[in-house]
Amino acid sequence: MNSADLGRRVGVPSTALFTDQYELTMVQAALKAGTAGRHSVFEAFTRRLPEGRRYGVVAGTGRVLDAVENFHFDDEMIGFLRQQDIVDEPTLEWLAGYRFSGDIWGYPEGEVYFPGSPILRVEGSFAECVLLETVILSILNHDSAIAAAASRMSAAAGGRRLIEMGARRTHELSAVASARAAYVGGFDATSDLAAGFRYGIPTVGTSAHAFTLLHDTERDAFRAQVDSLGRGTTLLVDTYDVAEAVRAAVEIAGPELGAVRIDSGDLLLVAHRVRQQLDELGATGTKIVVTSDLDEYAIASLAAAPVDAYGVGTQLVTGSGHPTCSMVYKLVARAGAADADAPLVPVAKKSLGAKSSVGGRKWAARRVDEGGVAEAEVIGTGAVPEELAGRELLVELVRDGAVVAREPLEAARERHVAARAGLPMSAMQLSRGEPVLGTEYV
């Protein structure tokens, strides 16, 4: 990984209170019991993929690194915890000096994952690791859900341009994270300027129906937009009569008109009619952009339509029906004493239901067939088998509390393209199915 962060670094407030109260009360009890310093290993993973999904996508890793760096308690926060009597004074004193000093390994951003994959491994003292649980899960669960939806839409689009435009359908901060995750998953641009400013994602946007309705005639609106933004702009043509709007758009902008956008109606039928009309008017290079509550299924249904780009909002920023990945953060190994040389002991919750887990510090590797296509996710706690050497999936992200693997967002985007291409072809099917790779424990 490239350690240079090419994105814009903006001020990030402390993430220390992005947590659940019981993380702090566990620290208090562990400090009093003398177990808070025991060397511990936590892992983030999911026991299952969302129903019907065939693979997951790791996203949010870069945001996790930012969150860990900014996890500290300032005087005002300590005062709040004291006023609310959340924890006792010795614990407040410990929290006031908190900085994560451990190690983090994980699947690199953009990689795919499957049930049981140790997506993130956090190692250090029990107290310093347990505090990070909530903020890590909130980021990974959200961003990976959006990236998985984006990946499915990208596969369905078949190389056509995808624009993220869901800011008005989610929380204002979630909108920025969603745009970032969508870019990792294969989208090409966003309408959200905050995402462009923060992460360098290309931004696009021209006008809404309100701009047309503002003017006395549709022609007046088109003329004003072309005069201001140039002939290469995108004109919205479904406010009134589509055919008349397309005719007016080409007359005003000429055959150099960049694109027209269709936001309603039978998109398959209308797109064919608009393409034919544009060609007859000589605007053969004018592109067609479609919007209107699209998801991966709607995009796939338009595969035969003369569409050049899709704009997706609601379904993307809500994970297309699966807004979380159900990732958990579990203690899988811990030392039997606070002594630095104390050996690690595998630990795991026992459950008769579906909440069981596997103990031990894990590695993961992906076995491939002779053609280079992945055939299994292999997870183990001992030595990596010789035949899997060099195919390990976890990479070092944080060493002794310092981030060592910050990278440009473009690297995660490119990694996802390669990771998805290495899966069996059935991974691209939108029909419900089981994960395309089985998980093997060795």
Q: What digits encode the pLDDT tens for the residues 255-265?
A: 999 999 999 99
Instruction: Tell me what pLDDT residue 27 has.
Output: 98
Instruction: Tell me what pLDDT residue 11 has.
Output: 53
Q: How far is CA 155 from each of CA 61, 96, 161, 312, 416, rounded to the nearest angstrom?
A: 22, 47, 11, 14, 12
Show the tokens assigned to 64. 């996790």
Instruction: Tell me what pLDDT residue 2 has.
Output: 36
Q: What is the share, in percent, of the chain residues with pLDDT greater than 70? A: 97
Express each pLDDT in 69-97 by its tens digit: 999 999 999 999 999 999 999 999 999 99
Tell me the pLDDT band of 357, cut-offs 50, 70 and 90. Answer: confident
Express each pLDDT in 48-67 by its tens digit: 999 989 999 999 999 999 99
Q: Which amino acid is at 333?
A: A
Tell me the pLDDT band of 5, cut-offs 50, 70 and 90. Answer: very low
Instruction: Tell me what pLDDT residue 340 has.
Output: 79
Question: Half-sphere exposure of residue 309, counting CA atoms within 13 Å on the CB side?
Answer: 21
Beta-strand ranges (E) seen in 120-190 are 120-125, 161-164, 189-190
Q: Is the pLDDT of residue 4 over 80?
A: no
Show the tokens assigned to 6. 């090419």
Q: Is the pLDDT of residue 8 over 70?
A: no
Express each pLDDT in 195-226 by its tens digit: 999 999 999 999 999 999 999 999 999 999 99
Q: What is the mean pLDDT of residues 174-199?
A: 97
Q: At residue 56, what are phi and psi to the nearest 5 degrees?
A: -110, 165
Express each pLDDT in 136-171 by its tens digit: 999 999 999 999 999 999 999 999 999 999 999 999
- How many angstroms separate the CA atoms of 258 and 194, rounded? 25
- How many angstroms separate the CA atoms of 41 and 125, rounded? 8
The 3-state DSSP class for residue 368 equals strand
Q: What is the mean pLDDT of residues 13-30?
A: 96
Show the tokens assigned to 2. 């490239």
- How many angstroms separate the CA atoms of 187 and 296, rounded? 12
Give 211-215's long-range contacts (Cβ < 8 A, gap of 24+): 211/236, 212/236, 212/239, 212/240, 213/239
What residues contact residue 33 under an 8 Å CB cut-off, 6+ apart? Answer: none
Instruction: Tell me what pLDDT residue 341 has.
Output: 84
What residues contact residue 401 under an 8 Å CB cut-off, 6+ apart? Answer: 99, 100, 101, 102
Q: Is the pLDDT of residue 1 over 50?
A: no
Instruction: Tell me what pLDDT residue 3 has.
Output: 36
Q: What is the mean pLDDT of residues 31-47?
A: 97
Express each pLDDT in 408-421 by its tens digit: 999 999 999 999 99
Residue with tokens 């008017």: 281
What residues contact residue 245 under an 8 Å CB cut-off, 6+ apart? Answer: 218, 222, 235, 237, 238, 239, 260
Q: How far is CA 66 from each of CA 13, 39, 63, 142, 170, rounded to the nearest angstrom?
A: 10, 23, 5, 16, 22
* Residue 272: how many other CB atoms lie within 10 Å: 16
Please provide the average confidence, as pLDDT, over all residues in the chain: 95
Instruction: Tell me what pLDDT residue 161 has.
Output: 98
Which of 410, 390, 398, 375 is closest to 114 using CA atoms?
Answer: 375
Instruction: Tell me what pLDDT residue 73 has.
Output: 97
* Residue 429: how many other CB atoms lie within 10 Å: 13
Q: At residue 74, what are phi and psi to the nearest 5 degrees?
A: -90, 180
Q: Is the pLDDT of residue 110 over 80?
A: yes
Helix, strand, coil shares of the chain, percent, nearest 5, are 40, 20, 45
Express each pLDDT in 239-253 by its tens digit: 999 999 999 999 999
Q: Which amino acid is at 271?
A: A
